[in-house]
């Protein structure tokens, strides 16, 4: 819909602003992708903000969607909702079967609350919604700010900056053994529309590739693609985060959706975007 001003996170935290938006635009369908997000560093530094802001955003939008008689809402969660020591690959039924990863517990708790909120609104009020849990995402408009960026974008920035500054070594957090599953945001956008049209269960569904890669492997791929000639030093005094969180995506594939953008191609795109950003 056309709107008079951008909808910022601070608007969504404000209940009256959210009500005014719904009253004015009267949406039939809502895709709730808005969130305060960041990498391991910002999650560790600002757990209260991650819990508060995300919970407020979700509460306001889900409740107002119900009051406004929205036909269907799509809630986007995160693979961090699963327990720290979760069996791999992670099946949907493993949620709440163990303790969360401490480094992103605030964000995970908020996303679990949003998931349960839509589930309960369906149970109590018959409000129609679906819940999608994507793996780690990357793509255009991701932040390259090291304070807030996710690992893939952060690595691209670090390697290109180190190359441009002729730094003989680059220091990366952790040991590199942690494994992550990555999906391009364009694939997620296609998945959202596909599930909006084809999925109606209150049970949440994983969205991803079902394949992961170690941070060390990812770093070496980006090192080669950026042609950085220096040394990688792993700072094992810093946390790795959850060692593995690979999704079981069999339910998604059984419904007929499979992502198409390969990680190698996506990394090429992100390198090009950051280099273009530097030139501008």
- The full DSSP string for 38-91 is --HHHHHH-HHHHHHHHHHHHHHHHHHHHHTT-SEEEEE--GGGS-TT--SSB-
Separation between Cα atoms, residue 4 and residue 177, nearest integer Å: 47
Select from 111, 132, 134, 137 the least CA-distant residue to 208. 134
Separation between Cα atoms, residue 87 and residue 89, nearest integer Å: 6
Residue 107 among the catalytic residues? yes
Contact 178, 244 (CB under 8 A): yes
β-partners of residue 232 are: 170
Please state whether beta strands 29-32 and 72-76 pair in parallel, antiparallel, or not at all (unpaired).
parallel
Select from 84, 101, 113, 107 the least CA-distant residue to 38. 107
Q: Which of 46, 82, 107, 199 is catalytic?
A: 107
Residues annotated as part of the active site = 107
């Amino acid at each position: 819909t056309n709107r008079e001003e951008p909808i910022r996170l601070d608007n969504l935290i404000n209940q009256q602003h959210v009500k005014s938006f719904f009253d004015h635009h009267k949406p039939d369908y809502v895709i709730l992708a808005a969130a305060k997000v960041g990498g391991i560093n910002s999650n560790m530094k600002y757990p209260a903000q991650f819990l508060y802001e995300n919970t407020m955003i979700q509460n306001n939008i889900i409740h107002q969607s119900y009051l406004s008689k929205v036909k269907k809402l799509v809630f986007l969660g995160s693979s961090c909702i699963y327990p720290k020591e979760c069996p791999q690959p992670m099946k949907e039924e493993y949620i709440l079967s163990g303790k969360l990863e401490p480094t992103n517990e605030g964000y995970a708790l908020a996303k679990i609350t949003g998931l349960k909120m839509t589930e309960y609104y369906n149970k109590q009020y018959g409000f129609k919604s679906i819940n999608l849990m994507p793996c780690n995402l990357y793509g255009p408009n991701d932040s390259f700010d090291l304070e807030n960026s996710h690992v893939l974008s952060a690595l691209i920035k670090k390697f290109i900056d180190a190359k441009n500054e002729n730094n003989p070594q680059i220091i990366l957090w952790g040991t590199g053994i942690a494994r992550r599953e990555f999906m391009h945001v364009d694939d997620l956008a296609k998945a959202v529309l596909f599930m909006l049209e084809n999925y109606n269960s209150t049970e949440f569904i994983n969205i991803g590739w079902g394949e992961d890669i170690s941070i060390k492997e990812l770093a070496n791929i980006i090192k080669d693609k950026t042609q950085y000639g220096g040394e990688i030093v792993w700072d094992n005094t810093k946390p790795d985060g959850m060692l593995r969180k690979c999704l079981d995506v069999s339910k998604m594939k059984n419904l007929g959706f499979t992502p198409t953008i390969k990680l190698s191609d996506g990394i090429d795109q992100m390198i090009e975007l950051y280099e273009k950003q530097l030139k501008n």
